[in-house]
Structure 1
Amino acid sequence: MITVTGATGKLGRLAVEALLERGVPAERIVAAVRTPDKAADLAERGVQVRRADYDAPDTLASALAGTRRLLFISGSEVGRRVPQHRNVVEAAVAAGVELIAYTGILNCDTTRMTLAEEHRATEAVIRESGLPYAFLRNGWYFENYTENLAPALESGALVGAAGDGRIAAAARADYAAAAAAVLTEDGHAGKIYELGGDASFTMAELAAELSRQTGREIVYRNLSEEEYAKALVSAGLPEPYAKALADSDTGVARGDLTTDSGHLRALIGRPTTSLADAVAAALKD
């Protein structure tokens, strides 16, 4: 039995699809979700749907029953994730899970980004549990940028605080395919994978690619971390989240979100999605 937590999220759904594509029978996949109704489409395809709330340990015990391998997708509630994640790990230990694959953040050991703190703490909890593990340290998703291009297309400018830092991004589907490989193949226990795209880019290069494909001039406007956080708040983001994103951009400027490990390409057995293809797909949608 392979269980995917957060299976109605954007990455979780893709991970379930990737498992099915690799030939895992639907009845051997558990979609562990907070709101089972949102996974009705998966249930119709034969996937087992079980309620799993990171804040409710009793639901985690039943959700993970019989699980052999677990894709543990990190929670989205920044600031609350360590106790939530500890609940999942304790349930995995009780269930006798044979491998826990945790989705963290690229360069978790060395980055000074605030978003990495909870990931480092979770990795420590997993190590201390004694469970066999694989750490899937995901880089940025292309979708972090391409899902919200409208403001840039309207104003003619991308804004951020990333400077000339390079970003080894890949598509969510690439990361999902890597997770499915780890869950369905042997030999991944104890491995740490620094996952990122084959070719990195700067925000200025992203702006140039948008210009090339739209035929419009789009520039990158670099702000200070404080200025960028204020801009995000003005756009409607909660202040704590805005500050975290601005801090992440400062991390990009330091080089925290790039890698030449080649781990993602090796796991999925093909080149990762290119910047040009990611932009083209976004503009098509």
Structure 2
Amino acid sequence: MTILVTGASGHLGRLTVEALLARGVAASDIRAGARDVAKVADLAAKGVQTVHLDYTDAASVADAVAGVEKVLLVSGSELGQRVAQHMAVVDAAAAAGVAQLVYTSAPHATTSALILAPEHKATEEAIAASGVPATILRNNWYHENYLSTVQQAAATGVVASSTGAGRVASASRADFAEAAAAVLTGEGHLGKVYELGGDIAWDFAELTVTIGEVLGREIAYVAQTPEEQTAALTAAGLDAGLVGFLVGLDANIRDGLLAEVTGDLSRLIGRPTTPIADTLRAGSAA
């Protein structure tokens, strides 16, 4: 059995390859697809198959998918282009008759007002229409998303947001990667949709306390209105599009769209999810 992991030079893809190896999958049975194969040379040195795979190059995708039984489609990072990019993988998987396509989506992607949901919704619908046997992993936020918040807090002594009392059930990338590996190597996952997130949902006041503990000093939490946040981000030199996106994400959190704790992730990986303090501490030390 050959398993293709797309986006293998990225954080989640690489961690999934490592999780597959840790689960005893032979390196020669793993195919790591990357736009720049040089970036996965270390995986090749371990015996992993490495192939050129560019979501914008359908021929490269078809070549990468040929002969594999299972595919992990790690969602692309280029907002506004992801549906077309994902479709290249879905089409190739359908043409090749793969036994399982696993897709990393977003929380409640088909029904949520989350600002990032529409492209994931379109991809999930395309997968369903393709007829390819599939498993959907709806990943909540990564702990690592907040490493930049630690850096900002270290420089300013402040964490600011307009999230109100909204909570985030985040988990580490390694947790999500381990879940993907479990689904790719286990049984009974076809047709399933998993809402994956951490065991604990925290709010930004609690995050601020955690960051203070990581930094070893007191950090202040500043609760902003959306208007105050917009003004602050604009004054910091961010362009209007990015400001709107960031304020929109905070509104999604304020509305509770990332707060759900389902237990799906810890059940798949067979252990509690990683506390956010552990990830922030390790990332800050690195």
| TM-score between the two structures when normalised by the length of structure 1 | 0.95
What is aligned with 1:130?
131
What is aligned with 2:41?
40
Pair 205,116 (structure 1): closer, same or farther in 2 beyond 3 Å? same
Distance (Å, rounded) in 2 between the aligned partners of 1:238 and 1:98: 44
Distance (Å, rounded) in 2 between the aligned partners of 1:95 and 1:230: 51
Instruction: Decide whether the 8 Å contact of 2:138 with 2:195 is kept in 1.
Output: yes
Give 3-state SS (helix, strand or coil) of 1:134's partner: strand
Pair 231,94 (structure 1): closer, same or farther in 2 beyond 3 Å? farther
What is aligned with 2:220?
219
- Report the residue type matching 1:211 in the other structure: G
Instruction: Decide whether the 8 Å contact of 2:146 with 2:280 is kept in 1.
Output: no
Instruction: Decide whether the 8 Å contact of 2:107 with 2:139 is kept in 1.
Output: yes
What is aligned with 1:162?
163
For residues 47-97 of structure 1, the C-alpha deviation after alignment (integer angstroms, 9 at most, x for no partner) is 111111111111111010111111100011101111111111001111111
What is aligned with 2:18?
17
Gaps of 5+ in 2: none
Gaps of 5+ in 1: none
> Is 2:254 the counterpart of 1:253?
yes
User: How many residues get paired?
Assistant: 285
For residues 221-279 of structure 1, the C-alpha deviation after alignment (integer angstroms, 9 at most, x for no partner) is 23334543554455565543442232111111111002221000000000000123223
Pair 38,239 (structure 1): closer, same or farther in 2 beyond 3 Å? farther
- Report the residue type matching 1:264 in the other structure: L
Give 3-state SS (helix, strand or coil) of 1:101's partner: strand
Distance (Å, rounded) in 1 between the aligned partners of 2:253 and 2:282: 24
* Cα shift at 1:171: 0.4
* Cα shift at 1:147: 4.5
Distance (Å, rounded) in 2 between the aligned partners of 1:126 and 1:201: 33
Instruction: Decide whether the 8 Å contact of 2:168 with 2:258 is kept in 1.
Output: yes
* Cα shift at 1:132: 0.8
What is aligned with 2:95?
94
Distance (Å, rounded) in 2 between the aligned partners of 1:280 and 1:140: 17
Aligned ranges 1:156-195 → 2 under 5 Å: 156-195=157-196
* Cα shift at 1:204: 0.7
Instruction: Decide whether the 8 Å contact of 2:82 with 2:119 is kept in 1.
Output: yes
Pair 65,235 (structure 1): closer, same or farther in 2 beyond 3 Å? farther
Instruction: Decide whether the 8 Å contact of 1:68 with 1:97 is kept in 2.
Output: yes
Percent identity over the alignment?
Answer: 47
- Report the residue type matching 1:78 in the other structure: L
Distance (Å, rounded) in 2 between the aligned partners of 1:241 and 1:70: 32
Pair 109,62 (structure 1): closer, same or farther in 2 beyond 3 Å? same
What is aligned with 2:51?
50
Pair 63,236 (structure 1): closer, same or farther in 2 beyond 3 Å? farther
Instruction: Decide whether the 8 Å contact of 1:89 with 1:129 is kept in 2.
Output: yes
What is aligned with 1:265?
266
Distance (Å, rounded) in 2 between the aligned partners of 1:85 and 1:52: 12
What is aligned with 2:113?
112
What is aligned with 1:61?
62
Instruction: Decide whether the 8 Å contact of 2:183 with 2:189 is kept in 1.
Output: yes
Give 3-state SS (helix, strand or coil) of 2:92's partner: helix
What is aligned with 1:283?
284
What is aligned with 2:77?
76
Aligned Cα root-mean-square deviation (Å): 1.7
Instruction: Decide whether the 8 Å contact of 2:144 with 2:280 is kept in 1.
Output: no
